[in-house]
Structure 1
Amino acid sequence: MGSPRIIMKLIVAGVHVEPGDVRVIELKHHRRPLLPAFEPGSHVDVHLPIGKVRQYSLCGDPEDLSRYTIAVKRENGGRGGSAWIHDQLTPGAELPVTAPRNHFPLKESDGPVLLLAGGIGITPIFAMARALWRQGKPFELHYFARSRSLAPLLGALEKTISSENLRLHLDDQVETRQDLEELLSTRPSGAQLYYCGPPGFMAAVALASEDWPDGTVNFEAFQPLVQDDTPPEPFMIVLRNGAVVSVPADKSALSAIRAAGVLLMASCENGVCGTCECGYLEGQPIHRDAVLPSNARSHRFIPCVSRATGVLKLDL
């Protein structure tokens, strides 16, 4: 069963504009000098006054706990959260924000680290690059954008890490372009890959890295990667106490579980944040999320978007 997450009331200490129609928001606690610690790759849930909850990666310095820094790109075709932040959020406003959690952690590794970011996907990658630079570990950050004028956080990034560790790939500069398939065709010994960006970029990196060994490719997505056009079919869920829950074709497993009286926390309800993650004991799930690593799909389940064939026994 899900448990409530700590929610803090934070004050917007600053807002500034970045290239690519991005707003950088600094959040502080109005009483406490230090916020809960976070690791590179962590995100927070931001509860907006319009009743929406959005997940944003922490792109600030994990060693500076006086503030949390998030970067929000305006998505005109989105669900309204980013537009409200861009149009309405001002310094001094108060926002409920959850304590950080991390589905995209840096792993302990002796080999080099390859960081790939596409546009606003630089947000979790920036924190990783900062940590690796500080630790003196070998890494390369490849930043893909249409142009310098559309690359958020690039100025801060260039001031933080060495130019020897940063590779820019700009569509408007032929000399900087590099094909992803060429870049990822050879894996350096012991290398780990981390990547984040918009759906097209994510799909291209996934394809280019499909021959890398299991456990060496790590990613965070802002949207589910798999667009399954197969019409949903009804299925059954069995809980630990033996209760049987019917999931109609037009309802999510999450909504059916909640209707059966099980308290299961959720946030994005889009398969990218992992808040509603639970275990499964038997059955054949149809994974439609963008958060579970491949080695977790044999026993973990994201009920807000994923479904199943026949009967699925959950560890709830």
Structure 2
Amino acid sequence: MDVIINKIHQLTPSIRAFELVSSSGSALPRFEAGSHIDVHLKNGLTRQYSLSNCSSENNRYVIGVLHDENSRGGSRCIHNDYQEGDVLSIGQPRNLFVLHRNTKKAVLFAGGIGITPILSMAYRLKAQNIPFELHYFVRSHEMIAFYGNLTQHFAEQIHFHIQNRVDTECNMANVLQQPDVIKHLYVCGPTGFMQFVMQSAETAGWQPEQLHQEHFVAQQSKQENDEAFTLEIAGTGKRIEIHAEQTVTQALLEHGFDVPVSCEQGICGTCITRVVSGVPDHRDVFMTDEERALNNQFTPCCSRAKSKHLVIEL
């Protein structure tokens, strides 16, 4: 669907908020806290951005976009090539980062741009009168995104942790103490930051079912020992040699097969494909360990094969 960029706010030197409204003036589809939308950019790329506003609002979507120095073209495009009043094509909201229904208390952790889905969760928790605390980690005070929203709406819940500011250090042992079953932890941010939070929680005795995270960027999946393998498309008799330096998606597109792709990092699940036989080498962060163990589907954008031969169904 098409939306109009109603307002653009410069939140930090590198983060902008884009307020999107319906191009027809009608209400936008409802969404849940933690949801994201696919944004189809004019340069042909599709990127996912979390919705940061309150999920009770149906007149607008608000996304926060970091202008990444290592941008693969997505954030650079939306920062440089779009202005207020421009039309943007987006997909329906999807939620891969759901607030667990048994959450009676919550601890929210955000690192940098990871505040975007966490902010929406904070709005929802407050509306439901569910106690929570929000810990926001940034490199400097000027890098705090949505500062006004956070201090105005969550003055009692927000804790800012600024790098190299001793007075703002986070005592993780204190924050994560008493991990009883009614508590749930939600974290979003850079991969290393999330690993730190998750490991700290596990050390403090939190159980896996209490821990929830969302990835913005996946770890690099290319490995030095990657080997070529043969891919067969079930029902077609077509066999494709997947070289060590290419992804399955790239090979499929080169041979004329239409494969839906979006993040290209194994984060969003758009390209999940059924595996008929063979053993996938799972490198996504979308599926659960249980789903990977079944070996009946994989993400061709980043995953490969442990077996010499892999048969898939398109």
Structure 1 and Structure 2 fold alike (TM over 0.5): yes
Kindly provide the amino acid, as one letter, of the partner of residue 185 in structure 2.
L
User: Out of 51, 54, 59, which is 1:61 matched to?
Assistant: 54
Alignment partners' CA distance in 1, 2:313 and 2:172: 40
Are residues 287 and 20 of structure 1, via their aligned partners in 2, closer, same or farther at CA, if it must alter by over 3 Å? farther
Task: Tell me, yes or no, if the aligned pair for 2:103 and 2:184 is still in contact at 8 Å.
Answer: no
Alignment partners' CA distance in 2, 1:234 and 1:149: 47
Are residues 260 and 210 of structure 1, via their aligned partners in 2, closer, same or farther at CA, if it must alter by over 3 Å? farther
Worse overlay, 211-220 or 131-140:
211-220
Task: Tell me, yes or no, if the aligned pair for 1:223 and 1:271 is still in contact at 8 Å.
Answer: no
Aligned residue in 2 for 1:5 = none
Kindly provide the amino acid, as one letter, of the partner of residue 304 in structure 1.
C
Task: Tell me, yes or no, if the aligned pair for 1:225 and 1:289 is still in contact at 8 Å.
Answer: no
Aligned residue in 2 for 1:307 = 304
Worse overlay, 101-110 or 218-227:
218-227
SS of residue paired to 2:209: coil
Per the normalisation by structure 1, the TM-score is: 0.87
Report the aligned-residue RMSD.
Answer: 2.5
- 2:244 aligned with 1:252, yes or no? no
Task: Tell me, yes or no, if the aligned pair for 2:221 and 2:302 is still in contact at 8 Å.
Answer: no
Kindly provide the amino acid, as one letter, of the partner of residue 265 in structure 1.
P
- 2:228 aligned with 1:231, yes or no? no
Kindly provide the amino acid, as one letter, of the partner of residue 55 in structure 1.
Q
Structure 2 segments unaligned to the other structure (5+ residues):
none
Deviations 1:136-181 (A, max 9, x none): 11222111112332110122122223x3322222224312211546
Aligned residue in 2 for 1:46 = 39
User: Out of 198, 202, 205, which is 1:206 matched to?
Assistant: 198
Are residues 290 and 241 of structure 1, via their aligned partners in 2, closer, same or farther at CA, if it must alter by over 3 Å? same
Shift of 1:312: 3.9
Kindly provide the amino acid, as one letter, of the partner of residue 60 in structure 1.
N
Deviations 1:276-306 (A, max 9, x none): 1234455433222232233332244221001
Task: Tell me, yes or no, if the aligned pair for 1:48 and 1:95 is still in contact at 8 Å.
Answer: yes
User: Out of 58, 69, 72, which is 2:65 matched to?
Assistant: 72
How many aligned residue pairs are there?
A: 308
Are residues 314 and 206 of structure 1, via their aligned partners in 2, closer, same or farther at CA, if it must alter by over 3 Å? farther
Per the normalisation by structure 2, the TM-score is: 0.87
User: Out of 112, 116, 128, which is 2:121 matched to?
Assistant: 128
Equivalent positions of 1:150-169 (< 5 A) are: 150-161=143-154, 163-169=155-161
Are residues 110 and 79 of structure 1, via their aligned partners in 2, closer, same or farther at CA, if it must alter by over 3 Å? closer
- 2:211 aligned with 1:217, yes or no? yes
Shift of 1:110: 4.3
Alignment partners' CA distance in 1, 2:152 and 2:233: 52
Alignment partners' CA distance in 1, 2:220 and 2:174: 24
Alignment partners' CA distance in 1, 2:240 and 2:131: 50
Aligned residue in 1 for 2:90 = 97
Alignment partners' CA distance in 1, 2:220 and 2:114: 18
Shift of 1:259: 5.2
